[in-house]
Structure 1
Amino acid sequence: MADFPVEQILKGAKHAIENSEYLPTLNKMIECCQAGLVEFGLPAPRDAYIEACQAPSPKSAQAWSHPAVYLAGRDSDWFFLANNEERMTWPVFRARYQRYCSAVLRGESLEIPAPAALEQDPGEPLSRDEQKDALRKLRESSGL
């Protein structure tokens, strides 16, 4: 239960009380906590981790199940997630994802930043003489 934020445990407890005649077991309480995420459109932490690890680039242009998944992946560092073992990356991602889940449960709205737009008018290319002049200036400024 330590992996869940307080807000999520409270939602899970409410869900357990409403849907059960008896006090829930630990496993049932964990299921109820994860069910509370579904009400907000949040995937289970493990599903979110897999989604973040398997998403192709550019990340911000993908269709994410929830902005919290993208933001947790971004904060965990995409390169770190892609190039390290799960035993190292899962705890990092889970902590960040839980933080965003808590924010959603508190009523905060999360947004994925829009991908940077390409320049509309790149201008005219330099002429051959202008390219040589720019190269000469670059060599002089770098000491080559």
Structure 2
Amino acid sequence: MTDHSSDLINQVARGIEASRTTSATPPGPTEPRRPQAPAEHIEAINQVFALFRLNYHNQYYAAYPDAEQLNQIKKLWLDSLGDYPVEQILRGARHAIEHSEFLPTLHRMHECCQQGLADLGLPTARNAYLEACNAPSPKAAQRWSHPAVYLAGRDSDWFLLAGSPERDSWPVFERHYRDYCARVMRGETLEVPRERALKRHEPEPLPVEEQLAQLRKLRDETGL
């Protein structure tokens, strides 16, 4: 991590802390604090805005003329995009740059993050969840839209997906699926494991003498 990136991370972190201590809060029970964003996500947001600054130079400075305002906007983006893997955020930024002449809004950035999945043949997390829940058995024999869907379903437990309420199964599946999506975006190739072929056990033929003995026994029992 460069010294410049470290300074940006520290600056955003100080801004977050300052907003917590100086904002006016009415008396009464306070809401539970959201866990502080991981450093890698803060770094990813800084990288996104650095890319935007290089590619949308005039638009960027027109939209973010004030450093304090820029820090507030970064915090908003960090909070809104924090559930995406870092790789998906960065791929979404690249998609925005490659497909639009205009500086993306936060809403557009969400769309670009989803489109980054589609560029790799990955369905959205929601569509992947429905595909996994509705897939018949044997699972490995089905035609999956992407191996990540099968692997996330397998790791989530097929029984959980088939028999548990969505409020229980969806978070488990989503976590596994996002992990596999991140691996794909890092360049890893995923595969659905092949089913092991069942060995066919052909019975060995009986000796001729035993076959004749069984035939005589059958004749005696049937009277033929």
**Shorter-chain TM-score: which interval?**
0.7 to 0.9
Q: 1:121 aligns with which of 195, 198, 201?
A: 201
Superposition TM-score, scaled by structure 1 size = 0.81
TM-score with structure 2 setting the length: 0.53
Q: Any residues of structure 2 matched to 1:1-144 within 5 Å, and which?
A: 1-123=81-203
- Structure of higher CA gyration radius: 2
CA distance in 2, matches of 1:25, 1:83: 40
**SS state of the match for residue 32, structure 1?**
helix
Paired residue total: 125
Question: What's the RMSD between the two structures over aligned residues?
Answer: 1.6
Structure 2 unaligned runs (5+)?
Answer: 1-80, 205-224
**Match of 2:170, as an amino acid?**
W
1:120 is displaced (CA, Å) by: 1.8
The list of structure 1 runs, each at least 4 consecutive aligned residues, that deviate by more than 6 angstroms after superposition, is none
Shift of 1:122: 4.7
Tell me the SS of whatever aligns to 2:183.
helix
The residue type paired with residue 111 of structure 2 is E
Letter in 2 for 1:21: E
Moved more, 87-96 or 17-26: 17-26
Please, which runs of 5 or more residues in structure 1 have no aligned partner? 125-144
Residues 89-122 of structure 1: per-residue CA shift (max 9 Å, x gap): 1111111001000100111111111112122225
Q: How far has the Cα of 1:54 moved from its partner?
A: 0.4
Encode CA deviations 1:9-52: one digit per residue, 9 max, x unaligned. 00101111232333322221111001011111111111100000
Identity of aligned residues (%): 64
Amino acid at match of 1:58: P
The corresponding residue for 2:58 is none
How far did 1:82 drift?
0.7
User: Structure 1 CA distance, aligned partners of 2:129 and 2:177?
Assistant: 8
1:6 is displaced (CA, Å) by: 0.5
Mapped to 2, the partners of 1:122 and 1:113 lie a distance apart of 27
Aligned partner of residue 133 in structure 2, secondary structure: helix
